[in-house]
Amino acid sequence: MKKKKKYNVAVVGVGAVGVQMLRVLKEHKFPVGTLRVLARSQRKIKVDNCAYDVEKISPDSFCDIDFALFAGTEGAKGAAVTFAPEAVKRGAVVIDNGADFRMKKNVPLIVPEINGKDAIINKGIIANPNCSTIQMVAALAPIYRKAGIKRIIASTYQAVSGAGRSALKQLWEETGYMHKITDVLSAADNPMQCEAGKDRAFLNQIAFNVLAQIGGFQEHDYTTEEWKMVHETHKIFNDKKIKISATCVRVPVLNSHSESVYIETKKTITPGAIKKLLSKTKGVVVIDDPAKGKYPMPGLSSCRDEVFVGRIRKDPFVKNGLWLWIVSDNLRKGAATNAVQIAEYLIGR
């Protein structure tokens, strides 16, 4: 891409991720020339007291656009598949937050701090990894480079914001309905099983509950979210030899995903060395003083761009086994921020 002083940007989708994209572009002072906000229907929205005119998306919406940021599943349904090729035809670089292009052979899957150089060799479309993958690989990449990783076991505790506005609404409403926890526990019927409606993101109750499913079930009874962590990590590290297994769980937290990640390294590396290594890693913040109650939490990471890591400790029974606790804002670094950072990397080059 030819270097310019200003770049014309289109943001596709004004759901939870699309709104964050608008916010991050402004906060990062991205050199925006013309900004177009696109969705299925024309309307006006306001983000942080800034008014935006949302245009109805069409192929011609991408004329003279340099970067088209697709909010993925939070945007217009099917928008990336339908309109990304149209945007590329008109000279735009598409950065897509959805899952449609992530595993395509000629589409780079990018976390700028890890494999930003791969974004340069693109054919018009660059994919954002899944939110749970991004924060995990951001924390593990320096360890992978230093000591190698032969095994990863991840358990995620994912906020409802990852399932969109309807999920946030459902949690709020259920929390309001369930003022007395004793009523929930002593109900004669099963209050955790809910009737599915058009405004419900989850079949089961999410308030005061934990759902051991994110996405549909696939091979070996792993969900789509769990397989994403496997396949995307292999692609980002360009290493299919890493043995990866995940369990992805939805928890009644509004925003920011948490992950308990177990790794087995090829070379011995101490928790102290990992803390020192991650403390020097761009975009990673180490908070690890558990005796004083200091470790990453969703409340601390929400509205932040960094990946927070703590509870770094050795497995006393496995020579090279280690645990890490990783927390990050899934709408920011897990989606919108990473997409904007890809564009920043490209213009920086």
- With residue 284 as reference, give the H or E element that holds it: strand 284-286
Catalytic residue among 28, 50, 131, 220: 131
Q: Which of 32, 77, 74 is nearest to 50 (CA)?
A: 32
> To which residue do tokens 């549909």 refer?
216
CA-to-CA dists, residue 168 to 256, 284, 331, angstroms: 12, 27, 13
Catalytic residue among 50, 179, 231, 257: 257
Residues 254/159, Cβ–Cβ less than 8 Å: yes
**Which SS3 state, helix, strand or coil, does residue 211 take?**
strand
131 catalytic residue (yes or no): yes
257 catalytic residue (yes or no): yes
Residues 19/97, Cβ–Cβ less than 8 Å: no
**CA atoms of 115 and 345, how far apart (whole Å):** 11
**CA atoms of 302 and 311, how far apart (whole Å):** 19
**CA atoms of 218 and 227, how far apart (whole Å):** 8
**CA atoms of 149 and 316, how far apart (whole Å):** 18
**CA atoms of 117 and 18, how far apart (whole Å):** 25
Mode of pairing for the β-strands spanning 257-265 and 321-328: antiparallel
Residue 238 Ramachandran class (φ > 0 left, ψ -120 to 50 alpha, else beta): left
Residue 215 Ramachandran class (φ > 0 left, ψ -120 to 50 alpha, else beta): left
Catalytic residues: 131, 257
